[in-house]
């Protein structure tokens, strides 16, 4: 199969899973005839019809609430939140209902549903179409949170998410939809949830990233290699459950850890990674656990210059690696 774009991998996987399992349904705003705002569901309505590809009102709480009910009654819904920025009206349904159902029912009921949502900035989306919201949900036991960075992983992780017996939030960086391409096997493979990947071996600094930042981290690692610095890149892929084994093995090898994420720095997902590294690998550290993240402003500006100022980029990461390597 020729290289596929990130959005191709998502679309083709949805179709494959719907063909494989008649209980898989797709629902969300404009996911039917229009194929979704990013065309992630393009062609599904024509093949599977109104009963399995369902256009909904612009009501995120209803989209998720309906999916919970469907999941409790034998279906496997894949619901799309048009932008991750709009997920908050469904926050109570996700956190108080879907995440807690198995616990509150003493393992009597599961909620096998997947919530897809495009996230992230750098696309001139400004405040309400650029947010990174993963940290809100990684806090919650009962939820799995997945952030793929390649078409290969998007396909394998989406399959695993749809087949999982519990709720999964599947975040897709919108800037990668058509800019990232890669080889995708034409087989029914899966990528296990909760397993990180070493995408660039190194010996001096561990760089931890996910989503778009995993690509920028790889570019930064190549840049600092020209300076004689060996950086190892860990692509987390799944934020919850976190693959602490791969993370800590890398940090214990390199002795230094740089965590990269696009969200605001304070209270972001990287803070939890930093805490785990400090608690579990302190004796191996040769420098401070360091974070590179978005600045402390309420949102991504629309103005191009200010947007670039907000966004983490390969050069910012490379400079962070150089500073930490020299510590």
Task: With beta carbons less than 8 A apart as the criterion, state whether 171 and 117 touch.
Answer: yes
Distance from chain centroid for Cα 57:
25
Each residue of 253-280: b (16+ CB within 10 Å) or e? ebbbbbbbbbbbbeebbbbbbbebbeee
Task: With beta carbons less than 8 A apart as the criterion, state whether 6 and 154 touch.
Answer: yes
244: Cβ contacts below 8 Å, ≥ 6 apart: 276, 280
Of the listed 124, 129, 173, 304, which one is catalytic?
129
152 labelled catalytic: no
Which residues form the catalytic set? 129
């Amino acid at each position: 199969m020729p290289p596929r774009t990130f959005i191709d991998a998502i679309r083709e996987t949805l179709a494959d899973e719907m063909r494989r399992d008649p209980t898989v349904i797709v629902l969300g705003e404009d996911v039917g005839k229009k194929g979704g705002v990013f065309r992630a569901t393009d062609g599904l309505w024509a093949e599977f019809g109104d009963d399995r590809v369902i256009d909904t009102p612009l009501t995120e709480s209803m989209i998720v609430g309906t999916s919970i009910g469907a999941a409790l009654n034998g279906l496997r819904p894949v619901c799309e939140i048009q932008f991750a920025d709009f997920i908050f009206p469904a926050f109570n349904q996700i956190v108080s209902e879907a995440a807690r159902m198995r616990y509150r029912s003493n393992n009597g009921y599961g909620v096998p549903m997947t919530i897809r949502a495009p996230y992230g900035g750098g696309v001139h989306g400004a405040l309400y179409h650029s947010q990174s919201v993963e940290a809100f949900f990684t806090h919650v036991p009962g939820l799995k949170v997945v952030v793929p960075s390649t078409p290969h992983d998007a396909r394998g992780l989406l399959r695993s998410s749809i087949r999982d017996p519990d709720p999964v939030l599947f975040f897709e960086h919108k800037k990668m939809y058509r800019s990232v391409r890669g080889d995708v096997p034409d087989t029914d493979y899966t990528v296990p949830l909760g397993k990180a990947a070493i995408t660039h071996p190194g010996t001096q600094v561990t760089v931890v990233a996910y989503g778009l930042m995993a690509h920028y981290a790889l570019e930064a690692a190549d840049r600092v290699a020209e300076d004689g610095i060996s950086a190892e890149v860990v692509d987390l892929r799944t934020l919850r459950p976190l693959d602490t084994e791969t993370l800590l093995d890398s940090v214990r090898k390199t002795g230094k850890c740089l965590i990269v994420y696009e969200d605001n720095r304070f209270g972001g997902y990287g803070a939890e990674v930093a805490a785990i590294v400090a608690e579990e690998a302190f004796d191996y550290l040769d420098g401070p656990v360091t974070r590179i993240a978005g600045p402390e402003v309420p949102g991504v500006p629309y103005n191009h210059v200010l947007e670039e100022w907000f966004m983490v980029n390969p050069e910012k990461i490379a400079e962070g690696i150089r500073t930490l390597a020299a510590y």
